[in-house]
Amino acid sequence: MTETLRTPAVAGSPLSADPRVTRAIGLVWHEADLLDRKEYETWQELYTEDASYVVPVDAETEDFDNTLNMVYDDARMRRMRVTRMTEGYAIAAVDAARTVRTVSRFVPVEVRDDEVTLRSAQVVVAYKRGRHDLWAGEVTHRIRLSRGGDRIALKVVRLVDSEDAVPAAGFLL
């Protein structure tokens, strides 16, 4: 069964209590916790082999292949990114920011028996070299539901300031 939603699910509505949506939200929160604890090896296991992790420059685009992206990772690139952040002397690993993120305002966009697409708001506070930076954006997650374990099939982070100069993060969004 597929439900494409025209209006957001609100507290008390049938979709806000849908166990598929609850599972998807739980996975998104788990991902946020892993990223804040810098558990990147475990984080990458949350993704399906064919998943994409995208941070586009154009906040309106859906055509990630033909537009500029800050990040556009497939499985190979995610593995390389994790390696840079966890092994050897890489600036991304040595000088990584400490982060605390909040993910909220979940809106189910599409709910199927095997997949849920959610939009949410994410705010990341990063602390590095005595300075706090704020990263905010809307995130779309497409979660594949499975008895063997739910996985992220797509993550798109649309930063509110994506078209401005964005500092080097030293962490994953």
Q: How many domains does the chain divide into? A: 1
Q: Give pLDDT, residue 90.
A: 56
42 within a domain of the structure (yes/no): yes
Enumerate residues 6+ apart whose C-beta is below 8 A from 18: 9, 108, 111
155 within a domain of the structure (yes/no): yes
Q: Give pLDDT, residue 84.
A: 86
List, for residues 37-63, the tens digit of each pLDDT value.
999 999 999 999 999 999 999 989 999
164 within a domain of the structure (yes/no): no
**Tokens 């597929």 belong to residue:** 2
88 within a domain of the structure (yes/no): yes
The pTM for the full model equals 0.87
Domain of residue 132 covers 2-159
First to last CA, the chain: 32
Evaluate whether 15 touches 4 at the Cβ level (below 8 Å). no
CATH number, domain containing residue 49: 3.10.450.50
Q: Give pLDDT, residue 86.
A: 84
- Write the burial class of residue 5 (CB in 10 Å: 0-12 exposed, 13-18 middle, 19+ buried): middle
The Cα–Cα gap between 99 and 62 comes to 28
Evaluate whether 82 touches 66 at the Cβ level (below 8 Å). no
Tell me the C-alpha to C-alpha distance, in Å, between residue 33 and each of 40, 44, 67. Answer: 11, 13, 30
71 within a domain of the structure (yes/no): yes
Tokens of 90: 């890489």
173 within a domain of the structure (yes/no): no
What integer is the mean pLDDT of 104-128? 96
List, for residues 12-43, the tens digit of each pLDDT value.
555 568 999 999 999 999 999 999 999 999 99
55 within a domain of the structure (yes/no): yes
